[in-house]
Amino acid sequence: MASTTLYCGRSDIDDRLSVAGVRFVADDNQSDDVTEAQRVSAIDTAIKFAGAMIDSALWPWVETVPITQDTTTRNQYLLDVCVDLACERAAQRSGGTVPQVLADAADDARERLDLIREGELRVPGVDYPLDSHPQDLKRVGLPITVVHHRKHSHTVRRS
């Protein structure tokens, strides 16, 4: 079994955008002449961007990002988020208007990533290290924020 640190693949983007949609987002000069290298570059760049967004939400909660997965059994939740973000990113490449359906899906994905980052939503199927060490859960509390004032600074516990 091959492993990957990408949350989705080119074929997932092809499936969402269609072959014509992928050719359109990869056609920077609107010539209708898109090479395979242009297509691969456009999609791979968008996938890497989406992966970085996912990693930034997961890193406070998992031991290592990106999460290594089997290429044939990727986490469906992360795959969907990745595809939503990557499709929007690919559609933005040439400065064109992003179709509303892609923008809405990406907005939803960003909202879910914000909830994951804040610890209010967990990704199904992802192992969270503290789950296997219940004694450490007692030591995990609300993050501490340092508030700076002109004369002094003090520590405040977020609620």
Of 39-43, 69-73, 99-103, the poorest mean pLDDT is in 69-73
* Rounded CA separation 35/67 (Å): 31
- The full set of domain ranges for the chain reads 3-128
Whether the pLDDT of residue 131 is over 70: the answer is no
Of 27-31, 77-81, 105-109, the poorest mean pLDDT is in 27-31
Q: How confident is the model at residue 121 (pLDDT cuts 50, 70, 90)?
A: very high
Q: CB count, 10 Å around CB of 147?
A: 9
Give the CA dihedral 24, 29, 32, 37, nearest 10 degrees.
Answer: -70
pTM for the full predicted model? 0.78
What local confidence, expressed as pLDDT, does residue 137 receive? 46
Taking residues 28-40, report their average pLDDT.
78
Phi, psi angles (nearest 5°) of residue 74 = -60, 155
Whether the pLDDT of residue 118 is over 80: the answer is yes
